[in-house]
Amino acid sequence: MGVKCGDIEAECYDEIWQKYFPESANSTRVLLYQDELVVSFLDRKQKSEVHALVVPRFIHILGTESLSPEHHTDLLLRMVEVGERVVQGQLEMKGYDSEAENVRLGFHRWPLRSIDHLHLHAMAGAFVSCTGNLKYRPWLPFIGYLDARKLLVCFQKRSHRS
């Protein structure tokens, strides 16, 4: 399925990091996972006890508005699966309950999106600030946060109709 990479630096991962996260290009990074479709690493601005990002590995996608059920359902499914897996692994390392329902998965869209490259926020545990508590809540889609699992279900229904 994929290769777990621990702290190994990968060429494509470096390219993604340098191009789409330039303000943090020289900061410490921890690669959690990569496979043929996605790469996952810890978010440099931790907003909860566990906060990872999952991004497409070889293609640039601006954001959720650029996704279509016909072309991106498999990618979205992989991003959700990897997000759940890496957060569960991080929770287990910290001695917390690692149940999938405790993992929050979502995408920011305008006006909250700060990076113009599709990235899934995979989070668990308490928020470390009031900002995180507001900015990463799926019950506020009208301000720019989309629940990834709900988006995936919508895409799967639409892709089966075509």
51 assigned to active site = no
C-alpha 21/C-alpha 79 separation (Å) is: 19
- Catalytic, out of 60, 119, 121, 160: 119
C-alpha 78/C-alpha 55 separation (Å) is: 10
Q: Which residues contact 22 (CB under 8 A, 6 or more apart)?
A: none
Sign of CA dihedral 133, 69, 82, 96: positive
C-alpha 20/C-alpha 44 separation (Å) is: 13
Element at 158 (helix H, strand E) = helix 148-161
Annotated catalytic sites, by residue?
A: 119
